Structure 1
């Protein structure tokens, strides 16, 4: 079984978009900030609804990313092209889905893991938008 077989089409798409976002930004890794953009790219997903309900938009994330003067905290810790932060988020999303007895990992599990696995680039961006990760 492939590790992503249990991911919903939207969750897989969010990860694919994250990869493309990283390439577009000429990043040497795929990080949580890229996943945040990926989740904000799928309007019919639960993750999108939760983020936009809190006022988080792709435009706001992009503006903040461009204004950041220092590189992401995630660029120093890379494993197989993923930041270790994103790697942990993906692993945790599988655990979360299993914990709730969900057969598949959806965007909501990715979102939950993104905001609950500690400080990362995505949570820093959310805090800069005055969105408390634990409130999502």
Structure 2
């Protein structure tokens, strides 16, 4: 499916993984997908979100607040590291060697898995793009997929930031219509 994503959409997905890792989460939820969309320079979704007053720093802080309020603590993948350690594999040593060989940050372990809500939003990206008659999936389609899913912490973050979700959908569709003409 990712072969149909535009470069910026792929960048947003990669950034969502990076955000989850940076926050010490062992999952990628819609909240991380949202952060990836906001962080993608010159993308349709980022532009519309900025117009709605959504800033990356505030969205990240809201994400942390909401995740912690749900009782989820940052683990940084510690259970997976502990499991490997129990059989004699030192993940930190692997990280040091990879950083020395390939550059800082080259090795990220574990790679977080997508939550059910994030998977649903990414799956709805396809139908949103097709409904608009688009062959490639852009950041705008990912955001529309999140909105169409109707659930997930990403929507909670947007609501906490005072974004009208129905108005956001209309703003995205208006931007797409303007860009298509």
Q: How does the TM-score come out when normalised to structure 2? A: 0.67
Match of 2:116 in 1: 84
State the distance in 2 between where 1:24 and 1:106 align.
24
Match of 2:2 among 1, 4, 12: 4
**More helix by percentage:** 2
Structure 2 matches for 1:5-24, cutoff 5 A? 5-24=3-22
Shift of 1:59: 1.0
* SS state at 2:34 partner: helix
1:20 deviates by 0.8
3-state secondary structure, aligned to 2:4 = coil
Q: Corresponding residue for 2:41?
A: 43
Runs (5+) with no aligned partner, structure 2: 73-111, 169-181
**More moved, 59-68 vs 29-38:** 59-68
Of structures 1 and 2, the larger Rg is shown by 2
Q: How does 1:19-98 map to 2 (within 5 A)?
A: 19-68=17-66, 69-71=68-70, 81-98=113-130
**What TM-score comes out, normalization by structure 1 length?**
0.87
Give the match for residue 118 of structure 1. Answer: 150
Contact 1:72–1:121 (CA under 8 A) maintained in structure 2: no
- What are structure 1's unaligned runs of at least 5 residues? 74-79
